Amino acid sequence: MTQGRLKHFGWGREGEGLTAEEEAAALDRYPRLFKVEHFDEVTPPLLSEIELRRPRLAPPAALAPFCSSETYDRVAHTYGKSFSDYVRGLHGQYDNAPDVVAYPRNEAETAAVLDWAGSSQAALTPFGGGSSVVGGVEPQLDGTAYKAAITLDLRHLNRVLEIDRTSRAARIEAGIFGPALEAQLRPHELTLRHFPQSFEFSTLGGWIATRSGGHFASLYTHIDDFVESLRVVTPCGSLETRRLPGSGAGPSPDRLFIGSEGILGVITEAWMRLQDRPRFRAGGAVRFADFFTAARAVKAIAQAGLYPANCRILDPQEAHNTGAGDGTAAILVLAFECADHPLEAWMNRALECCAEHGGTPEQASSADGHREGAAGLWRNAFIRMPYARERLVRRAIIADTFETAITWERFETFHDKVKTATEAAIRDATGRPGQVTCRFTHVYPDGPAPYFTFHALGRHGDLLSQWRTIKNAASQALIAAGGTITHHHAVGRDHRPWYDKERPELFAGALRAAKGALDPQGLLNPGVLVDPCDSARRPA
Amino acid sequence: MTQGRLKHFGWGREGEGLTAEEEAAALDRYPRLFKVEHFDEVTPPLLSEIELRRPRLAPPAALAPFCSSETYDRVAHTYGKSFSDYVRGLHGQYDNAPDVVAYPRNEAETAAVLDWAGSSQAALTPFGGGSSVVGGVEPQLDGTAYKAAITLDLRHLNRVLEIDRTSRAARIEAGIFGPALEAQLRPHELTLRHFPQSFEFSTLGGWIATRSGGHFASLYTHIDDFVESLRVVTPCGSLETRRLPGSGAGPSPDRLFIGSEGILGVITEAWMRLQDRPRFRAGGAVRFADFFTAARAVKAIAQAGLYPANCRILDPQEAHNTGAGDGTAAILVLAFECADHPLEAWMNRALECCAEHGGTPEQASSADGHREGAAGLWRNAFIRMPYARERLVRRAIIADTFETAITWERFETFHDKVKTATEAAIRDATGRPGQVTCRFTHVYPDGPAPYFTFHALGRHGDLLSQWRTIKNAASQALIAAGGTITHHHAVGRDHRPWYDKERPELFAGALRAAKGALDPQGLLNPGVLVDPCDSARRPA
- For residue B92, the model assigns a pLDDT of 97
Given pLDDT bands bounded at 50, 70 and 90, which one contains residue A538? Answer: very low
Task: Compute the nearest-CA separation of B318 from chain A (Å).
Answer: 23
What pLDDT, in 10s, does the model give residues B72-119?
Answer: 999 999 999 999 999 999 999 999 999 999 999 999 999 999 999 999
Task: Compute the nearest-CA separation of A41 from chain B (Å).
Answer: 36
Task: State yes or no: pLDDT of B429 exceeds 50.
Answer: yes
Q: Please give the angle made by the CA atoms of B134, B395 and B477, to the nearest 5 degrees.
A: 40
Whether A244 has its CB under 8 Å from any CB of chain B: the answer is yes
- For residue B451, the model assigns a pLDDT of 98
Given pLDDT bands bounded at 50, 70 and 90, which one contains residue B365? Answer: very low
- For residue B378, the model assigns a pLDDT of 66
Which of A342-351, B61-70, B142-151, B311-320 is least confident? B142-151
Task: State yes or no: pLDDT of A535 exceeds 70.
Answer: no
Cβ contact B222–A246 (<8 Å): yes
- For residue A198, the model assigns a pLDDT of 94
Calpha distance B287→B314 (Å, rounded):
10
Given pLDDT bands bounded at 50, 70 and 90, which one contains residue B2? Answer: low
DSSP strands (E only) in B393-434: 397-403
Whether B533 has its CB under 8 Å from any CB of chain A: the answer is no
What pLDDT, in 10s, does the model give residues A420-479?
Answer: 999 999 999 999 999 999 999 999 999 999 999 999 999 999 999 999 999 999 999 999
Q: Please give the angle made by the CA atoms of B399, B402 and B403, to the nearest 5 degrees.
A: 150
B261 CB neighbours in chain A (<8 A) are 250
State the burial class of residue A490 (Cβ atoms within 10 Å of its Cβ: 0-12, 13-18, 19+): buried
- Assign domain A48-153 one CATH number from 2.60.120.260, 3.30.43.10, 3.30.365.10, 2.40.50.140: 3.30.43.10
A449 CB neighbours in chain B (<8 A) are 245-246
A393 compared with B376, residue with greater pLDDT: A393
Calpha distance A129→B93 (Å, rounded):
61
Whether B208 has its CB under 8 Å from any CB of chain A: the answer is no
Calpha distance A261→A208 (Å, rounded):
8
Residue of B nearest to A207 (CA): B248
Task: Compute the nearest-CA separation of B42 from chain A (Å).
Answer: 34
Residue of B nearest to A529 (CA): B250
CB A86 within 8 A of CB A43: no
HEC states along A313-363? EECHHHHHHCCCCCCCCEEEEEEEEECCCCCHHHHHHHHHHHHHCCCEECC
Percentage, residues of chain B above pLDDT 70: 95
Residue of B nearest to A234 (CA): B506
Q: Class of the A280-491 domain?
A: alpha beta
Task: Give the 3-state secondary structure of residue B125.
Answer: strand
Task: Compute the nearest-CA separation of B272 from chain A (Å).
Answer: 10
Q: How far is CA A115 from CA A98, A122, A123, A236, A238, in A?
A: 17, 10, 11, 9, 12
Whether B280 has its CB under 8 Å from any CB of chain A: the answer is no
Calpha distance A285→A347 (Å, rounded):
12
Task: State yes or no: pLDDT of A539 exceeds 70.
Answer: no
Give residue B444's Cα distance to chain centre.
Answer: 19
Calpha distance A180→A520 (Å, rounded):
35
Nearest alpha carbon to residue A159 among A105, A206, A228, A231: A105
CATH topology of domain B280-492: Vanillyl-alcohol Oxidase; Chain A, domain 3 (3.40.462)
Q: Given the DSSP bridges, would you call strands B266-273 and B280-288 parallel, antiparallel or unpaired?
A: unpaired
B255 CB neighbours in chain A (<8 A) are 251-252, 255-256
Cβ contact B485–A449 (<8 Å): no
Give the mean model confidence (pLDDT) for residues A311-317. 96
Strand (E) or helix (H) holding B67: strand B67-68
State the burial class of residue A371 (Cβ atoms within 10 Å of its Cβ: 0-12, 13-18, 19+): middle
Q: How many CA atoms lie within 13 A of A71 on its CB side?
A: 11
- Across chain B, mean pLDDT equals 94
Task: Compute the nearest-CA separation of B246 from chain A (Å).
Answer: 6
B238 CB neighbours in chain A (<8 A) are 506
- ipTM reported for the complex surpasses 0.90: yes
Residue of B nearest to A411 (CA): B167
Percentage, residues of chain A above pLDDT 90: 91
- Assign domain A169-276 one CATH number from 3.30.465.10, 3.40.50.1370, 1.10.260.40, 3.30.1330.180: 3.30.465.10
CB within 8 A of B2, min separation 6: which ones?
none
- Assign domain B163-276 one CATH number from 3.40.390.10, 3.30.465.10, 3.40.30.10, 3.30.365.10: 3.30.465.10
Domain span(s) for CATH 3.30.465.10 in chain B: 163-276
DSSP strands (E only) in B178-327: 190-191, 227-234, 237-240, 266-273, 275-276, 280-288, 310-314
Task: Compute the nearest-CA separation of B319 from chain A (Å).
Answer: 25
Given pLDDT bands bounded at 50, 70 and 90, which one contains residue A372? Answer: low
State the burial class of residue A39 (Cβ atoms within 10 Å of its Cβ: 0-12, 13-18, 19+): middle
Cβ contact A517–B502 (<8 Å): no
Which of A53-57, B287-291, B377-381, B469-473 is least confident? B377-381
What pLDDT, in 10s, does the model give residues A213-268?
Answer: 998 999 999 999 999 999 999 999 999 999 999 999 999 999 999 999 999 999 99
Task: State yes or no: pLDDT of B29 exceeds 60.
Answer: yes
- For residue B366, the model assigns a pLDDT of 45
What pLDDT, in 10s, does the model give residues B154-185?
Answer: 999 999 999 999 999 999 999 999 999 999 99
Sign of CA dihedral B420, B425, B431, B436: negative
CB within 8 A of A250, min separation 6: which ones?
B259, B260, B261, B491, B499, B503, B511, B529
Q: Given the DSSP bridges, would you call strands B237-240 and B275-276 parallel, antiparallel or unpaired?
A: unpaired
Q: Please give the angle made by the CA atoms of B241, B510 and B243, to the nearest 5 degrees.
A: 10
Task: Compute the nearest-CA separation of B102 from chain A (Å).
Answer: 25
Whether A29 has its CB under 8 Å from any CB of chain B: the answer is no
Which of A164, A250, A505 is facing B499, going by the closest CB pair?
A250
- pTM score, whole prediction: 0.96
CB B252 within 8 A of CB A486: no
- For residue B233, the model assigns a pLDDT of 98
State the burial class of residue A170 (Cβ atoms within 10 Å of its Cβ: 0-12, 13-18, 19+): buried
A481 CB neighbours in chain B (<8 A) are none
A444 CB neighbours in chain B (<8 A) are 245-246
Give the mean model confidence (pLDDT) for residues B225-236. 98
Between positions 471 and 490 of A, the ones with CB within 8 A of B are: 482-490
Calpha distance A275→A181 (Å, rounded):
13
Task: State yes or no: pLDDT of B370 exceeds 80.
Answer: no
Sign of CA dihedral B471, B474, B480, B483: negative
Which of B446, B513, B518 is facing A228, going by the closest CB pair?
B446
Calpha distance A365→A382 (Å, rounded):
21
Whether B431 has its CB under 8 Å from any CB of chain A: the answer is no
A305 CB neighbours in chain B (<8 A) are 307, 338-341
Cβ contact A511–B514 (<8 Å): yes
CB A281 within 8 A of CB A310: no
**Phi/psi class of residue B385: alpha, beta or left (left: φ > 0; alpha: ψ in -120 to 50)?**
alpha
Task: State yes or no: pLDDT of B13 exceeds 60.
Answer: yes
Q: Given the DSSP bridges, would you call strands A190-191 and A275-276 parallel, antiparallel or unpaired?
A: antiparallel
What's the CA dihedral at A453, A330, A407, A445 to 10 degrees?
-120
Task: State yes or no: pLDDT of A167 exceeds 80.
Answer: yes
Give the mean model confidence (pLDDT) for residues A149-173. 98
Q: Given the DSSP bridges, would you call strands B310-314 and B330-338 parallel, antiparallel or unpaired?
A: antiparallel
Residue B56 gets which letter from DSSP?
Answer: S
- For residue A307, the model assigns a pLDDT of 96
Nearest alpha carbon to residue B97 among B143, B140, B157: B140
Which of A446, A482, A506 is facing B242, going by the closest CB pair?
A482
CB A57 within 8 A of CB A122: yes
What pLDDT, in 10s, does the model give residues B281-330?
Answer: 999 999 999 999 999 999 999 999 999 999 999 999 999 988 888 999 99
- Across chain A, mean pLDDT equals 94
What pLDDT, in 10s, does the model give residues A83-105?
Answer: 999 999 999 999 999 999 999 99
Give the mean model confidence (pLDDT) for residues B137-145. 86
CB within 8 A of A286, min separation 6: which ones?
A294, A297, A331, A332, A334, A351, A354, A359, A360, A361, A362
B379 compared with A100, residue with greater pLDDT: A100
Question: What are A403's strand-pairing partners?
Answer: A451
Residue of A nearest to B220 (CA): A219
Whether A278 has its CB under 8 Å from any CB of chain B: the answer is no
Mutation for testing the A interface, residue in B258, B341, B352, B525 having most A CBs under 10 Å: B341
Whether B252 has its CB under 8 Å from any CB of chain A: the answer is yes
